[in-house]
Chain A
Amino acid sequence: QSALTQPASVSGSPGQSITISCTGTNSDVGGYDYVSWYQQRPDKAPKLIIYNVSRRPSGVSDRFSGSKSGNTASLTISALQAEDEADFYCSSYTSSTTPYVFGSGTKVTVL
Chain B
Amino acid sequence: EVQLVESGGDLSQPGGSLRLSCAASGFKFFTYAMHWVRQAPGQGLEWVAYISSSSNAIYYSDSVKGRFAISRDDANNSLSLEMNSLRADDTAVYFCVRWGRKEASFDSWGQGTLVTVST
Contacts and interface: CB of A to CB of B under 8 A. Distances in A.
Interface of A: 1, 3, 34, 36, 38, 40, 45-48, 51-52, 55, 57, 87, 89, 91, 93, 97-105
A40 B112 CA distance: 13
A43 to B, nearest CB: 10
A interface: dominant SS: strand
Interface stretch (B11-19, B44-52, B67-75, B79-87): B44-52
B interface: dominant SS: strand
Nearest 8 CB-CB pairings of A with B: A36-B105, A45-B109, A51-B105, A51-B103, A105-B44, A102-B45, A100-B47, A98-B61
B29 interface: no
A98 B47 contact: yes
Interface residues of B, number: 23
A39 to B, nearest CB: 11
A97 B107 contact: no
Contacts, number: 68
A27 to B, nearest CB: 15
Given A48-B105, A100-B35, 8 more contacts: A38-B45, A40-B45, A45-B110, A48-B106, A51-B103, A51-B107, A89-B45, A99-B50
Contacts of B95: 45-46
Interface string B90-119: 000001000010011111111110000000
A34 B95 CA distance: 21
